Amino acid sequence: MTDPQPTESTILVIGASLAGLRAAEEIRHEGHGGPVIVVGDEQHAPYDRPPLSKQFLAGTWDVERIHHHAPDRLDTLGLEFRLGRRATSLDTDARTVTFDDGTELHYDGLVVATGARARRLPGTGGIPGVWTLRTLDDCLGVRAGLESAGEGARVVVIGAGFIGSEVAATCHGLGARVTMVEALPTPLGRVLGDAMGEVCAGLHRDNGVELLTGVGVERLSSHPGGPTPVVVHLMDGNSLDADLVVVGVGVEPAVDWLEDSGVTLENGVVCDQSLFAHDRVVAAGDVARWMYPATGELSRVEHWTNAAEGGAAAARNLLAGSAGSQPYDPIPFFWSDQYSTKIQMIGVPGPGDEVVVVGGSVDERKLVALYRRGDRLRAVLAFSQPRQLMSYRPLLVAGASFDEALASARS
């Protein structure tokens, strides 16, 4: 059991991205008067990640626009930021966190919001022109590579998940010749199901992006004297020349610093329904794997809205203590902008769900689809139908049956 936080206690937030910032803001909004220290491993002030694969990569937004708040707005919250420091260990008995510069900070309450790191392909370190896209510095590097290669740059995107798909769409819009390589038979099949994954595949092909599915990458090689600086060698024996390669093969929770801390680690920081991971310790955002009340299963959600809502919920529960905490039971929501299409989903789809299109047209890439598990509505997906999508949210909140959802679709 964790006791409520005294008004003047010291709260330490590890992670200066969205979840950490929302937690720090909520701590102040709840009237906490003690020190709130936010530590981040990047030198940049907190910024928004979704534009990195879209507007910022395209050059239509500048750095100031992706920051969560102007500096004077952050100043009014009375937060202490310590940027460019990476947490290396946690001692839950002494209630201290040690950092890579050798310093140590004591806490009365701790928010773990270290997020996730982009997975890298083995053997690609040090090959010029090969990038992941997770941080602001990553995005600046990709932008510089595109500018250096010029019009018609040959770009290979490895992985057709949401980040890979958005990068492919943005680079295509900038005039690059884009090839996307996906090891699975269908893009986003594990998230959206095969039928809706095929709609995503059609979207790329409609817009002139070459999509190769069902083929993995064997290795990448540097080829400075060749027609392009990078060669992507595929498992089927073919190869692709590239001026630039962006690897989008998922992320992994940033939890290495929590080993031997007493916090349970299993595909993230394992938390209870109220996001408590240990006495006086909560977690939020991409790093948190909590007991999701709606399903009774441990879940880790890598979406913007979960980081924002989870950061605030974790902060409130930390201040209230275990006895006064509330279960974190959100309706997950995410979106992805690709070409001129907005893909949105609410709810928690599963790989075995039945998918029923109830509005629009698959051929036109403009539709609404319902996801059924057993007799319940589990999720709703929309392609460029935002108003129709959100009309189903009350049904998900109420735990509606699938028949009720179908009746609503037909009304």
pLDDT tens-digit readout, 357-406: 999 999 999 999 999 999 999 999 999 999 999 999 999 999 999 999 99
pLDDT tens-digit readout, 259-315: 999 999 999 999 999 999 999 999 999 999 999 998 899 999 999 999 999 999 999
d(CA 341, CA 100): 43
CATH topology of domain 120-249: FAD/NAD(P)-binding domain (3.50.50)
**H or E segment to which residue 43 belongs:** none
Report which DSSP code applies to 402.
H
How confident is the model over 223-229, as a mean pLDDT? Answer: 79
* pLDDT (0 to 100) of residue 320: 98
CATH for the stretch 11-117+252-320: 3.50.50.60
Residue environment code for 124-155, b if the CB has 16+ CB neighbours within 10 A, otherwise e: beebebbbbbbbbebbebbbebbeebeeebbb
d(CA 338, CA 172): 10
Q: Residue 66: which of 48, 82, 84, 40 has the closest Cα?
A: 48
d(CA 249, CA 23): 28
Contacts of 145 (CB under 8 A, 6+ apart): 129, 131, 153, 243, 244
Q: Residue 134: which of 38, 48, 220, 61 has the closest Cα?
A: 48
**Ranges of CATH 3.30.390.30 domains, the chain:** 340-410
Q: Spell out where 323-393 has E strands.
A: 333-338, 341-347, 354-361, 366-373, 376-383
pLDDT tens-digit readout, 81-92: 999 999 999 999
Q: Tell me if the pTM is above 0.85.
A: yes
Q: Spell out where 148-188 has E strands.
A: 154-158, 177-182
How confident is the model over 101-130, as a mean pLDDT? Answer: 95
* pLDDT (0 to 100) of residue 72: 63
Quick one: tokens of 246? 């962006």
d(CA 242, CA 342): 28
How confident is the model over 139-146, as a mean pLDDT? Answer: 96
d(CA 26, CA 315): 6
Quick one: tokens of 239? 């190869």
* pLDDT (0 to 100) of residue 50: 96
**Ranges of CATH 3.50.50.60 domains, the chain:** 11-117+252-320, 120-249
Structurally, at CATH architecture level, domain 340-410 sits in: 2-Layer Sandwich (3.30)
